[in-house]
Amino acid sequence: MIDFEIPEDDSALLDSIDRMMAKEFPPEAYREADKNYQTPWHLLPLMGDLGMLGLPFPAKYGGMEKDWRSVALVNERLAYHAGIASSLFATTVSFGGMSLMTYANESQREDLLPRLIQGNARFALALTESQAGTDAAALITRAQKISEGWLINGRKIWISNAQASDYLVVACRTTPHSRGSEGISLFLVPRQTPGIQMTPLEKLGHHCMPSWDIGFQDVVVSENSLLGEEGRGFKHVLSTLQFSRAGQAANSVGQAQRATDLACQYAKERTQFGRPIGNFQAIQHKLANMQVRVNQARLCLYQLAWLIATQRPCRLEAAQAKLVASEAFQFVTKEGMQIMASAGYAMESDMQRLWRDAGLFTFGEGTSEIQRNLIAREMGL
């Protein structure tokens, strides 16, 4: 049976997060950053100071050796305050750190994990291409062996936080004439390597997390830049999906709870026809449905975190958590906008940002349709 009791040290860390976010990135700062397309990178070293970025990693690298239940709690709490804070945390821990732990060599771990845990190393995954989105194995960016190491040529698109990253993890086809998931390798490419060109992409939401179109023209990297085994890059990415999907689910749950609380508070304060609109059954039912959807998503997240922590198989549960949480996030923000009406539609409202940002989660890092396919496959269909 899963124990929902939060340990004292985790509870203390959550309280520290509340204080940190209130001081370093309060709601008004988030509104300003969203308006001006600014990423709060100053939060990463602060997370490092609190030990958050080292939660699941061994002590020899500076980690705290906690399990994924602690990671999920922290991720969710950060998201409640600011979705971008949760995204920065998850990109660093779930993608950057767990990728290093899962398939990097020891030299790469010793070099990068201590810096990552301190909040001094930023990573971006360069996987998606114009013809390789959901069908990620259709990528055509290539890396060719040369005397100096590897020569990379190709193009990536919709790569989050690429320009500000220290390292791009680039998926390339290294076996000539290979097709599908075979013959793909991963490379750890320093952002300032000559031959990398970036163009920003305008988008509806997630203004604090810029996305980039990246060109690689005769980019030379060393032999030591190979991350994991040659030709097994796609399998390496798949081996860490449970961590990234847990991060997406936690981010969705935290922000969905924030949206529900905002709408509930508004319903208590907004008066029409001589009484608060929260007194009307129609509004009460909307809010009740919103909270139920958030609670369902949270249970899926905590189940997944428990399975990861206890090293049990979780392919179905990872897809389920991502699916249920992302769709709950969209549901509650749509209902929140309906409850708040013009007050939510105003650009100074946090609800409109939550509504805009929710859209990404049902297709980013795997569409809802793909998650349902994966669940059905795990059911033997």
Point out the residues that are catalytic: 365
What is the CA 299 to chain-centroid distance, rounded? 19
Q: Residue 10 and residue 14: Cα distance in Å, rounded?
A: 6
Q: Residue 255 and residue 79: Cα distance in Å, rounded?
A: 5
> Could you tell me the CA-to-CA distances from 256 to 66, 137, 186, 250, 252 in Å, in that order?
26, 32, 34, 10, 6
CA neighbor of 360 nearest in space, from 326, 328, 318: 326
- Residue 38, φ and ψ in degrees, nearest 5: -110, 140
Q: What is the DSSP letter of 7?
A: P
Q: How many Cβ atoms sit within 10 Å of the Cβ of residue 294?
A: 25
List, in order, residues 6 or more apart from 198 with CB less than 8 Å away: 162, 163, 212, 213, 214, 215
Q: How many Cβ atoms sit within 10 Å of the Cβ of residue 29?
A: 15
Looking only at the bridges linking them, the beta strands covering 167-173 and 123-126 are parallel
For residues 121 and 54, is the Cβ–Cβ distance under 8 A? no
Looking only at the bridges linking them, the beta strands covering 149-160 and 142-146 are antiparallel
For residues 91 and 85, is the Cβ–Cβ distance under 8 A? no
R_g of the chain computed on alpha carbons:
21
Angle between helices 315-340 and 281-309 (to 10 degrees): 160
Q: Residue 204 and residue 353: Cα distance in Å, rounded?
A: 10
Using DSSP, state whether 141 is helix, strand or coil.
Answer: coil
Residues across the chain = 381
